[in-house]
Each structure stands twice: as C-alpha cells, then as structure tokens.
Amino acid sequence: MNICFEGKRILVTGAGQGIGRDLALRLAKYKGKVFALSKRLEFLKTLKNEDSTIEIISVDLVDWNTTRTAIEKILPIDMLVNNAGVACLGPFLKLSEKQFDLTMNVNVKAIFNISQIISGDMIERKIHGSIVNVSSQASVAALKDHSIYCASKGAVDMLTKSMALELGVYNIRVNSVNPTVVMTAMGRLGWDDPKKSQSMLDKIPLGRFAEVDEVVDAIVYLLSDRSSMITGVALPVDGGFLAT
Ligand code: NAP
C-alpha cells in the first residue's frame, strides 16, 4: 500500500507507549502532522525526542473539561485514533466501583468526548474525516478476570457503529480495530503468566499473539482512503480467535 498523509492533521490518544506510540511514529513517517496525547509527560518527551515533528499533549482523559480544552486548542483535526485504554483485571466479585469508573471513563467516555468535538469541527469544515477506535477481541468474547474491560470494549463497538450511522451523512467514517493480545505493558498485565497465555494461544488459529505493527497496519488502512467505502465495522486483528 502506498500511503501518504501529507497535509493531514492526525490525533492519536494513548500515544506515550505501546500501540499508540508506534502508530504515532508510523503516521509521522507517512508525513502526517501528528498530535500525540497521553497522560504521562515523561513518555511523551521520549517520543518527541524520537521524532521532533510530533506535537505532544499531556492530559488525563478522565478529566472531561481539561480534555475538551486541550482538543479545542489543536483543531482542526482530519483523522482521529481513539487508542488510549486501561485494563483493570480481577475476578468479577472483587472488582471495585473505582475500577469500573476509571475503565469506563478512559475506554468509553473519552472516545465520546473527543470524537464529539473533532467530528463537530469536521462537519463545519465539510471534510471527509476518518475515526478509528481501538477496541479488542474482548468486546465480543468474555475473558476471565476481564469483566469491566470486556464491558467497556463492547460499549466501544456499539459507540463506533452509532457514530458511523450518524456521521456517515457528513462523509465521516468511523471504524474500530479489535486486536487479540499484544505484548505491550497492557498485554503483559493480563498474559505474562505462561499458563494463562498458553490457554489463549491455544484458541488462536494462527497460534501467536499480534505484533504491534500488525495492529498499526490495520489502523492505517482504516484511516486511509484505501478503505473509503468502509464504515461501522469492527475489524478483528486476532489471528482468527473470533472465528472459532
Ligand atoms: P499501553 O501500552 O498500556 O498504553 C496505553 C496508553 O493509554 C498509554 O499511553 C497511556 O498513557 C494511555 N492512557 C491510559 N489512561 C490514560 C488517561 N487517563 N489519560 C490519558 N492517557 C491515558 O496499552 P496498549 O496495549 O498499547 O493499548 C492500546 C489500546 O489497545 C487500548 O485501547 C487497549 O485496550 C487496546 N488493546 C490492547 C491489547 C493488548 O493486549 N495490549 C489487546 C486488545 C486491545 P501513559 O503513557 O501516560 O501511561
């Protein structure tokens, strides 16, 4: 695929580490003007050191108003990747209200908040925008000790479809990518234990977890005009896990 995002202003959330960080670097390589947002400034600073063309924004997405102000400052945005996420894991009977609220605030409510501002501006400017939400295989399949996370990703898929339905008329496409396990900091949290990871690997027809680059490729495709007739889909990047 020949991809060039020259002239495009692209916001990536959760860009301090993991999938979002590699995505930000890739989009900058494709000549996009990248805005990398996440919570911890120290990670963002190392990203800036790696590619000085990337603008960094340190915001706690749990804070609705601070997030809105930060996003309004960087408008216009042509492409948006809602990638930031948290995973609070544990038995259903032990998880707390605090963990529930944090997960829903970061994984779901922040997507609603940011996308509302950015798509509103896209509509005013009459541009063909593209939004990609990073969901998970956990939106469809229940995973042990992942009840809040699964619920949040189920909400991400439905929000994605609802946004696609209402924003399609303005030529704004909205899709999600739904990866299996990727060995980032978050992936290690749930799957470092070889016993647990083997039981998951046994359910993946391709017999391995996803590489960060494989998730980035899917996001780039959905952002780009190469997917110009695709909206409202949840694209598994899961080695066939959801096919079984
Ligand atoms: P990660 O390495 O833990 O990175 C998560 C990013 O989100 C970090 O940059 C983090 O900021 C940011 N973030 C978290 N809470 C935030 C907040 N309150 N405000 C601002 N930024 C916040 O995770 P990852 O594996 O790359 O995950 C990226 C996305 O992929 C998530 O939506 C996740 O649910 C999804 N996903 C991951 C896997 C997996 O196995 N890894 C599988 C399926 C889907 P800091 O840098 O400041 O910590």
Structure confidence at residue 23 (pLDDT): 98
Structure confidence at residue 243 (pLDDT): 96
3-state SS of 174-187? EEEEEECCECCHHH
From the CB of 218, is ligand 1 less than 6 Å away? no
Å from CA of 83 to ligand 1 middle: 7
Look at the pTM and tell me if it is higher than 0.85. Answer: yes
Which residue is closest in CA terms to ligand 1's atom 36?
136
- Model pLDDT for residues 144-186, shown as the tens digit of each residue: 999 999 999 999 999 999 999 999 999 999 999 999 999 999 9
- Model pLDDT for residues 209-242, shown as the tens digit of each residue: 999 999 999 999 999 999 999 999 999 999 999 9
From the CB of 184, is ligand 1 less than 6 Å away? yes
From the CB of 132, is ligand 1 less than 6 Å away? no
**Residue 159: is it exposed, middle or buried by C-beta count within 10 angstroms (0-12/13-18/19+)?**
buried
Task: For residue 115, give the amino acid letter.
Answer: S
- Model pLDDT for residues 81-137, shown as the tens digit of each residue: 999 999 999 999 999 999 999 999 999 999 999 999 999 999 999 999 999 999 999
- Model pLDDT for residues 28-86, shown as the tens digit of each residue: 999 999 999 999 999 999 999 999 999 999 999 999 999 999 999 999 999 999 999 99
User: Could you confirm whether 153 is annotated as catalytic?
Assistant: yes
From the CB of 86, is ligand 1 less than 6 Å away? yes
Å from CA of 136 to ligand 1 middle: 12
CATH superfamily of this structure's domain 9-238: NAD(P)-binding Rossmann-like Domain (3.40.50.720)
From the CB of 182, is ligand 1 less than 6 Å away? yes
Structure confidence at residue 2 (pLDDT): 85
Phi, psi for 160 (deg, rounded to 5): -60, -50
- Tell me how far the alpha carbon of residue 28 is from its chain's centroid: 17
From the CB of 39, is ligand 1 less than 6 Å away? yes
Structure confidence at residue 215 (pLDDT): 98
Q: Could you state, in order of their start, the residue ranges of all structural domains in the chain? A: 9-238
- Cα–Cα nearest to 32, from 60, 1, 64, 55: 55
Q: Of these residues, 39, 144, 153, 221, which one is catalytic?
A: 153
Is 183 in contact with 140 (CB distance < 8 Å)?
no
Structure confidence at residue 82 (pLDDT): 99
Mean pLDDT along residues 190-206: 95
Pocket test for ligand 1, best of 58, 111, 135, 186 (most atoms within 8 A of CB): 186
Å from CA of 215 to ligand 1 middle: 13
pLDDT greater than 80 at residue 191: yes
pLDDT greater than 90 at residue 1: no
Least confident of 8-12, 24-28, 122-126, 189-193: 189-193
- Cα–Cα nearest to 127, from 161, 83, 170: 170
